[in-house]
Amino acid sequence: MRKLHSYISLVGMFLLYCGSPLSIQSQSLIDTLHLAEFEVKSNYVLDNQGFKRVKLDSVTLLPHLNADLSTILTEYSTIFIKSYGNATLSTPSFRGTTAQHTQVEWNGINLNSPMLGQIDLSQVQVAQFDKIEILYGAAGLALTSGAFGGVINLVTVPDWNNRLNVMASQTIGSFDNYVTNLFVVTGSRKFQSHTKFNYLSGLNDFPYTDYQGNVVYQPNASFKQYGFTQEVFWQWKDHHMISAKVWYGRSNRNLPSIVEVYNPDYHEKQEDNTLRAVLEYKYVQRGYNLMVHSSLSDQFMHYSSPIVDARHQVYTWTNRARFTYNRIKKLTMKPGLDFSYDWAISEDYSGLKTRATTSFYAEIIYEISPAVKSSLIVREELIDGKFMPVLGTLGVEYRPFRKENFALTANALRNYRFPTLNELYWKISGNPDLDPESDLGGEIGSTYNRTTTNRNFFFEVTMSGYTTWIRNMIVWIPVKDNSSIWRPENVSQVFARGIEAGLNIRWEISGFHLGFKNNYSWCRSTYEKTTAENDRKLGKQLIYTPVNTFNSMVSIERWKFYLRYNFMFIGDRFTSPNNLSYMPAYNLSNIILGKSINLNNICLNLQVEVKNLFDLNYQSIASRPMPGINYAFTLKISFNRESKL
């Protein structure tokens, strides 16, 4: 009831913010008409001032509207997803770091829980955003601190040409899994409104083979989830833009046990209610602009099992202001100020816990010569009245050839992660004396892309190498002489280094549109400090961190048919820090075949997906079964009307 009250007050605040709810959605998300006419657009951002940024556009996301974020990242990036099963907990980590070093933002709101410091990607549906931008390593400092691996930035963008776009889609999948999506996107050249609704449910009782070779149906894995989003974008007198976005999500799920638990009465379940609201104002003038943004996030979680019943409630209020000034030749300055406040109410804390974070931010982009650009980001945080070490990164980009899209980049970084609320305040175990984790990193890279003169062939390649040194890493370890209590301590050191390579080709030939996207990652991430006498993990690979990861996508489109083949290779993952046991590597293949039919403004789309095509009997995490071959059928109807330009 406290919850309901909080929602009402938040919705009230939102209405005060923005008046009547009307908004926008990019047509590309909902209009399959445009799928065949794929844009020649690079994924790897070329003008990057030394930082690696990778974009996944709406064309890539379109056939995956019924999926969650973990699916997309597994298929199109080398971010490693620790998946505990179909539609259950999935956490991301990249560049040899952990899930707590990966931040996920949606339209400027950090989705990571301030309590846990991480996010469950199974709760973020692709339908909630239009584009993904992956900011690797140092690039993430532009948005937030603590993301040693990087930031996954999810954004929605308005399409001012849209007048009315209505879409309804229904997916029916194996194991009684269903996904419904409804979009209404309408507006004018000045105003766009997005209304989105999605509903997912599943019995999720997929069969798997147990150790004795018997077929067992995954018990206690059903779920229900829905999300409602309203977004409004308003351009006013050419210089002002106001947007407001609200996303309410509710999820109820049973949590399956590992295969070795044989207790039919043992039911774990989790309920999550989340509300996120953000109001943003931009003022744009020649030579300068201003952005201010204020958001509220309300996360409620209720976990229950026969022996534990825990409720956690966190509110976060975040404010961000950025001023951009570029009237001085070759120089752009972006000072900024962030302020956020967390309130956490949990039965596992003694009383209310709060945290106030003020962050002073400055970014300076300077064009040293037409070929060399540099960027300096400095961030200073004040947490609960205490100044943290200064963070910063310096990036340089060099484009040696005027006529070629080729860039060499380098950056160096100092970052830190402040402890999570659980690490500080968990009852009995929390350690309020924890220091922040620190990270020193460096990266070099190159990007090249080229389009043939007749524009029917495009390719791009990217290559980067990085190192990252994490010191004071927080690990939960047993308290000396009382091993029943575990306490987080700054005891670990990790050295991660790796190489990432990407190749992206698009080709139009004989009316066929062909696409070929590849990502490869090699990552060594090792323990550099031991904590006990007999500890044998020094120099060994971090658990659940694959050395090799590769994925590839081949797409073919013709006559409004489209075929997409996704291939993923996940290398061996060690399961013990001394590297004495491991989960073997595996290959996974998924296929999507679809057909669009256009009747005036109406588009009908039918799509068939086959997942785990070769019926691989695998586990990603030990003792957590994954489904074998499975299918999904999607029927989508959309109506689209654009302005006549």
Partner 1 sequence: MKLFTNSSNIFPLLPSIVAFTCLIVSCSKEPIRETPVIPDPTDSTPVATTYEHGVFVVNEGNFNWGNASVTFIDNSGNNAIQDIYKKANDRSLGDVAQSMTVIGTKGYIVVNNSNRVEVVNLKDFKSVKSIDGFSSPRYFEAVDANKAYVTNLQHNISIINLTTNVVSGVIKTTSWTESLIHYKDYMYVTSVGSFSEPNSNRRAQIYVISTKEDRIIDSIQTGKEPLGMVIDKKEKLWVLCTGGYDNFEAPSLVRINPELKMIEKAYVFPAGQGVPSKLCINPTGDTLYFLNGGVFQMPVTSAGLPSQPFISSNGRLFYGLAIHPKNGTIYVSDAIDYVQNGRVLKYSATIGSKLAEYQAGRIPGSFSFTDSGKK
Residues 248-277 that bind partner 1 (CB under 8 A): 257-263, 266
Candidates 616, 639, 641, 642: give the one binding partner 1 (CB under 8 A).
616
Give Cβ neighbours of residue 533 (< 8 Å, ≥ 6 apart): none
Q: How far is the CB of 438 from partner 1 (least distance, A)?
A: 22
581 binds partner 1 (CB under 8 A): yes
Contact 288/295 with Cβ under 8 angstroms?
A: no
Residue number, 320 or 537, with CB nearest to partner 1: 537
Residue number, 335 or 577, with CB nearest to partner 1: 577
Candidates 535, 563, 606, 631: give the one binding partner 1 (CB under 8 A).
535
Report residue 451 as tokens: 């389009």
Query: Apex CA 413: angle with CA 408 and CA 416, to 5°?
Result: 150
510 binds partner 1 (CB under 8 A): yes
Per-residue contact track with partner 1, 536 to 575, x per CB under 8 A? xx-----x--------x-x------------x-------x
Q: How many residues form the binding site for partner 1 (CB under 8 A)?
A: 71
Q: How far is the CB of 487 from partner 1 (least distance, A)?
A: 12
509 binds partner 1 (CB under 8 A): yes
Q: In whole angstroms, what is the distance from residue 102 CA to residue 134 CA? A: 10
Report residue 560 as tokens: 């409004």
Radius of gyration of the chain (CA): 24
Residue written as tokens 């990552």? 523
Per-residue contact track with partner 1, 414 to 453, x per CB under 8 A? --------------x-------------------------
Closest CA to 134 of 93, 98, 165: 93
Q: How far is the CB of 477 from partner 1 (least distance, A)?
A: 7
Q: In whole angstroms, what is the distance from residue 411 CA to residue 128 CA? A: 32
347 binds partner 1 (CB under 8 A): no
Segment 22 to 41, residues that bind partner 1, using CB under 8 A: 37, 39-40
Residue number, 380 or 528, with CB nearest to partner 1: 528
Per-residue contact track with partner 1, 448 to 487, x per CB under 8 A? ------xxxx-------------------xx-xxxxxx--
Report residue 177 as tokens: 């899994």
Q: How far is the CB of 636 from partner 1 (least distance, A)?
A: 23
Residue number, 380 or 508, with CB nearest to partner 1: 508
Q: In whole angstroms, what is the distance from residue 39 CA to residue 60 CA? A: 11
Q: Using the rule CB under 8 A, give the single segment among 45-53, 230-238, 338-346, 579-587 that binds partner 1.
A: 579-587
Q: How far is the CB of 474 from partner 1 (least distance, A)?
A: 14
Closest CA to 299 of 40, 120, 530: 120
Amino acid at 119: I
User: How far lies 529's CA from each of 282, 440, 471, 541, in Å?
Assistant: 47, 16, 10, 12
Residue number, 309 or 384, with CB nearest to partner 1: 309
534 binds partner 1 (CB under 8 A): yes
Q: How far is the CB of 491 from partner 1 (least distance, A)?
A: 10
Q: Using the rule CB under 8 A, give the single segment among 4-12, 74-82, 171-179, 531-539 that binds partner 1.
A: 531-539
Residue number, 9 or 209, with CB nearest to partner 1: 209
Q: Using the rule CB under 8 A, give the single segment among 361-369, 395-403, 404-412, 511-519 that binds partner 1.
A: 511-519
Q: Using the rule CB under 8 A, give the single segment among 141-149, 182-190, 394-402, 507-515 that binds partner 1.
A: 507-515
532 binds partner 1 (CB under 8 A): yes
Closest CA to 186 of 210, 216, 217, 165: 165
Q: Would the CA dihedral through 279, 282, 283, 288 be positive or negative? A: positive
Q: How far is the CB of 184 from partner 1 (least distance, A)?
A: 27
Q: How far is the CB of 99 from partner 1 (least distance, A)?
A: 16
Give Cβ neighbours of residue 329 (< 8 Å, ≥ 6 apart): none
Candidates 9, 350, 354, 623: give the one binding partner 1 (CB under 8 A).
623
Q: Would the CA dihedral through 573, 500, 413, 297 be positive or negative? A: negative
Give the DSSP per-residue string, 342-398. Answer: EEEEETTSSS-EEEEEEEEEEEEEEEEETTEEEEEEEEEEEETTEEPPPEEEEEEEE
SS (H, E, C) 494-518: EEEEEEEEEEEEEEEECCEEEEEEE
Closest CA to 298 of 343, 357, 348, 355: 343
Report residue 67 as tokens: 């999926």
211 binds partner 1 (CB under 8 A): yes
Q: In whole angstroms, what is the distance from residue 532 CA to residue 330 CA? A: 54
350 binds partner 1 (CB under 8 A): no
Q: Using the rule CB under 8 A, give the single segment among 20-28, 136-144, 287-295, 505-513 that binds partner 1.
A: 505-513
Segment 290 to 329, residues that bind partner 1, using CB under 8 A: 306-309
Q: In whole angstroms, what is the distance from residue 551 CA to residue 7 CA? A: 41
Candidates 210, 389, 608, 635: give the one binding partner 1 (CB under 8 A).
210
Tell me, rounded to whole angstroms, the distance of Cα 321 from its chain centroid: 23
600 binds partner 1 (CB under 8 A): no
578 binds partner 1 (CB under 8 A): yes
Q: In whole angstroms, what is the distance from residue 445 CA to residue 199 CA? A: 41
Q: How far is the CB of 283 from partner 1 (least distance, A)?
A: 35
586 binds partner 1 (CB under 8 A): yes
What separation, in Å, do the N-terminal and C-terminal C-alpha atoms of the chain show? 51
Query: Apex CA 75: angle with CA 74 and CA 81, to 5°?
Result: 5
Segment 58 to 117, residues that bind partner 1, using CB under 8 A: none
User: What residues does 343 pair with on adjacent strands?
Assistant: 315, 354
Q: How far is the CB of 615 from partner 1 (least distance, A)?
A: 9
Segment 145 to 204, residues that bind partner 1, using CB under 8 A: none
369 binds partner 1 (CB under 8 A): no
Q: Using the rule CB under 8 A, give the single segment among 111-119, 226-234, 401-409, 510-518 that binds partner 1.
A: 510-518
Query: Apex CA 61: angle with CA 134 and CA 162, to 5°?
Result: 105
642 binds partner 1 (CB under 8 A): no
Contact 138/374 with Cβ under 8 angstroms?
A: no
591 binds partner 1 (CB under 8 A): no
Candidates 350, 354, 587, 643: give the one binding partner 1 (CB under 8 A).
587
